[in-house]
């Protein structure tokens, strides 16, 4: 059974702190790993990672994948109150040409940033 | 370009009642998905569709049915609602060549 585990489940920090969110996985037919940010409503896409060791960056957020050790981390530097959200990690699994691109999600990390 | 939309936004049902949730996308995506999100459990796949007229079961399909009569619409039905189906339901879609799924705003369902 495919499994994605995120840690910590919740995190409370103050503005300006740096946080690291973890995502480990055990899946068959790994294709890619996605990070989403979920505020009040729909999850919104942050990053897609397919290759090991290549960092993706967007402003204060960055993420990297380790396919040998089967994990990914999401870093947020100089956190702001607007970073408060649930961060979801999801792994895309597939089976070649007939794949339907199934996403297996972790439980999510609830990040709260206080002023 | 509205992306993925869902109706209704919120609904209260009594046990045993039925209802249909509607998902619509205007991105010409082939693949569509229904998830439910419960506290501490992430998003779990209920049913999915790889194209018009086709549907398949996901991880937690029991108590739900789906239909994809038109490419842009994916309907989720509850024939006899149970309190265990109280949840937030998200629809998502993606194109054939994409990995990223795009989510709708969600439907909050409360079953009493």
Listing DSSP states for B33-98 in one string gives EEEEE-TTS-EEEEEEEEETTEEEE-SS-TT-EEE-SSTTEEEEEESS--GGG-EEEEEEEE-TT-
Rounded (5°) CA angle B30-B35-B41: 145
For chain B, positions 53-112, list CB contacts with chain A under 8 A: 56, 58, 90, 94, 98-106
For chain A, positions 22-51, list CB contacts with chain B under 8 A: 31-32, 34, 36, 41-45, 48, 50
> Residue B77: pLDDT above 70?
yes
Per-residue pLDDT of chain A (115 residues; tens, 9 = 90+): 889 999 999 999 999 999 999 999 998 888 899 999 999 888 999 999 988 888 899 999 999 999 899 999 999 999 999 999 999 999 988 765 445 677 899 999 999 999 9
The Cβ-side half-sphere exposure at A60, using a 13 Å CA radius, reads: 13
Q: What is the pLDDT of residue A85?
A: 96
Confidence of residue B39 (pLDDT cuts 50, 70, 90): confident
pLDDT digits (tens, 9 = 90+) for B102-112: 999 999 999 99
Beta bridge partners of B54: B51
> Residue B60: pLDDT above 60?
yes
Using alpha carbons, list the distances in angstroms from residue A19 to A37, A84, B73, B87: 14, 12, 39, 29
């Amino acid at each position: 059974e495919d499994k994605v585990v995120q840690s910590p489940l919740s995190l409370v920090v103050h503005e300006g702190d740096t946080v690291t969110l973890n995502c480990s996985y055990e899946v068959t037919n790994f294709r890619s790993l996605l990070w989403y940010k979920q505020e009040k409503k729909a999850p919104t896409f942050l990053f897609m990672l397919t290759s090991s060791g290549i960092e993706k960056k967007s402003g204060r957020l960055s993420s990297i994948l380790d396919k040998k050790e089967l994990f990914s981390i999401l870093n947020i530097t100089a956190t702001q109150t607007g970073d408060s959200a649930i961060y979801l990690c999801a792994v895309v699994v597939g089976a070649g040409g007939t794949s339907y691109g199934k996403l297996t999600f972790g439980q999510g990390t609830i990040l709260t940033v206080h002023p | 370009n509205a992306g993925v939309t869902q109706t209704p936004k919120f609904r209260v049902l009594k046990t045993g009642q039925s209802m249909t949730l509607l998902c619509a996308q205007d991105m010409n995506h082939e693949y569509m998905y229904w998830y439910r999100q419960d506290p501490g459990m992430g998003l779990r796949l209920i049913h999915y569709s790889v194209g018009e007229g086709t549907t398949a079961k996901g991880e937690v399909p029991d108590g739900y049915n789906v239909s994809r009569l038109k490419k842009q619409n994916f309907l989720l039905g509850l024939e006899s609602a149970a309190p265990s189906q109280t949840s937030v339901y998200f629809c998502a879609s993606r194109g054939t060549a994409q990995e990223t799924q795009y989510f709708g705003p969600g439907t909050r369902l409360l079953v009493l």
